[in-house]
Structure 1
């Protein structure tokens, strides 16, 4: 057995066994899914106390699902042991209150299969799978890759060409959509692509927070898999569940634009540290936003209203020296 395999006996497997098996149909109904942040201790290990606070905030403010170890949660900076442990922890602590979707995708089909087996073994409700990145493959290879993991349980396919270097075209999605475990697509190619799918009955979540209002109310998206909801879960819930609301969307856009001024999750990590919700610790290669951007965030919070943003204390600018950058962990 390979070294990154997680020792399942470390988890309370009885708790996992008690959780009702989830169908793809249940996943298809989720409207607000938060791509949850992973916080760290000064030595770079997970700060599970801060993570649990973040999870509770999401649940209390109406998030219906979470992505664990996705791009926002920095799954690409985790060992597989860490990855599966965090999925198992989330299920054991919160699995009865929110749907837990584990990012078990990989550019290696073999790794994706192993990680997905482990994720479902510790009780995750669904898997998130990306297309093979960097090395890429043919369209036939994409279908074979996804079919290899779809057999295991409910699955969301994630299309984000800006990170993978390869679009997943509709022909591939329509081919694998025949699987009973295909829950839908997290789509980052815009609302035209979303409408192309929803017109044919494929469930889609917007992967672009700045487009998600129109995706939901104008193009048929079921909802959003959101970065912004880490910071403003109540407002994002209203945006996804409360009906068309162009004024709220416009109010949120400055925050959303700020969150993506650098590659995600740099700004989110900085913001949560400024709010005192997580320690100001970054796993390299991520580093905090510069001072001027941190000042911008303080002003954005004032405009939105402190009561609408997570955390209890005043938002701080923080000094550069307050941040800890961890290369080995």
Structure 2
């Protein structure tokens, strides 16, 4: 019999068993750390490769196909609501997702910029992805934002996201500590093998454009569902002409991108508020009059960096508590009044929730720095 160290404890086991799993080479004395020829070798019995690791990305899993993701036209970058102490308000979150499903959204981005994934711990992030899959995965595609500026973090988070059942991953290019174009390719090629993925290009936030030659290089992967593109119509058209699926990342451009430049659909912020009208823009037909009608609301939403406008709007509609995780704060009073007028012009019935829209006072908002 031989003793091995596993997880900090000594276990007695049969040396024949250890040889069968490759921990003791043939001809080696299990009670000694020396070869028969006298040369020292590192003890191997304490290591069973990948024994303690979660299911690896190349193992067979029951997943949504990349083609299913490619067909989505309306994907909502879903808001994450909070309780007064800064924790997730899952009851309000579930209501928000249900409203998206009821009004025809086909997918949700969980923990994206709009959902404030940048303000979450990874534990919170993966929990919310798993919760969304568990509650709504049969009715809507769940796309987890598991991208990072650290390739190691992106790999680990994406493995966890797929392990809890997400249908696809959203991947940003490395921000702040920017890399070379070769580094961008290497980064995406490290995460794409794990499952269906959307690459997100938003230079205004990352400080670095993902040029077409990077996308064309990584598009050789069968797991690339497409690109969420924020650069504009010309870039959208350049990809669609080459068979690469594109979702507009700009609500103000999505109508024209969809009907004039070949975009498949939109990843939308505005659909948090008006999912039915955004579905009309993406599904029914070209509708410039509806697009023009919604433009003042969309411009209002992005007066300050997203998600400040959306958080303020949903609070005034009474569908989330007026709680902000810092550094986000509510829009000023004049903009809050303006939103109420926009709701009346477009029609309260077109917005989520059932309460009357109201102008909230500054004292109504709760700003949370530690949570």
TM-score when normalising by structure 1: 0.94
Q: CA deviation at 1:241?
A: 0.2
Q: CA deviation at 1:313?
A: 1.0
Aligned to 2:357: 315
Aligned to 1:32: 74
Q: Does 1:67 pair with 2:77?
A: no
1:52-63 matches, cutoff 5 A: 52-63=94-105
Aligned to 1:80: 122
The equivalent position to 1:278 in structure 2, one of 308, 316, 320, is 320
Q: Does 1:290 pair with 2:350?
A: no
Determine helix, strand or coil for the equivalent of 1:209.
coil
Q: Does 1:306 pair with 2:312?
A: no
Instruction: Give the greater-gyration-radius structure (CA).
Output: 2
The equivalent position to 2:306 in structure 1, one of 240, 264, 279, is 264
Aligned to 1:5: none
Determine helix, strand or coil for the equivalent of 2:253.
helix
TM-score when normalising by structure 2: 0.84
* Distance in 1, Cα, partners of 2:271 & 2:207: 26
The equivalent position to 1:253 in structure 2, one of 290, 295, 299, is 295
Determine helix, strand or coil for the equivalent of 2:231.
coil
* Distance in 1, Cα, partners of 2:332 & 2:212: 39
Q: CA deviation at 1:167?
A: 0.1
1:187-198 matches, cutoff 5 A: 187-198=229-240
* Distance in 1, Cα, partners of 2:81 & 2:243: 37
Query: Greater share of helix residues, 1 or 2?
Result: 1
* Distance in 2, Cα, partners of 1:164 & 1:79: 20
Determine helix, strand or coil for the equivalent of 2:161.
helix
* Distance in 2, Cα, partners of 1:120 & 1:294: 39
- Matched pairs, number: 314
Unaligned runs of 5+ in 2: 1-6, 8-52, 55-60
Query: C-alpha deviations, 1:239-278, integer Å up to 9, x for none?
Result: 0001100000001101100000000000000000000000
Query: C-alpha deviations, 1:209-239, integer Å up to 9, x for none?
Result: 0000000000000000000000000000000
Determine helix, strand or coil for the equivalent of 2:98.
helix
The equivalent position to 1:215 in structure 2, one of 257, 261, 267, is 257
Q: CA deviation at 1:20?
A: 4.9
* Distance in 2, Cα, partners of 1:175 & 1:188: 19
Q: Which consecutive segments of 4 or more residues in structure 1 shift more than 3 A?
A: none
The equivalent position to 2:176 in structure 1, one of 107, 128, 134, is 134
The equivalent position to 2:87 in structure 1, one of 24, 42, 45, is 45
Aligned to 2:44: none
Unaligned runs of 5+ in 1: 2-7, 10-18
Q: Does 1:174 pair with 2:216?
A: yes
* Distance in 2, Cα, partners of 1:210 & 1:20: 36
Aligned to 2:63: 21
Determine helix, strand or coil for the equivalent of 1:151.
helix
The equivalent position to 2:132 in structure 1, one of 68, 90, 101, is 90
1:149-164 matches, cutoff 5 A: 149-164=191-206
Aligned to 1:230: 272
* Distance in 2, Cα, partners of 1:183 & 1:249: 27
Q: CA deviation at 1:47?
A: 0.1
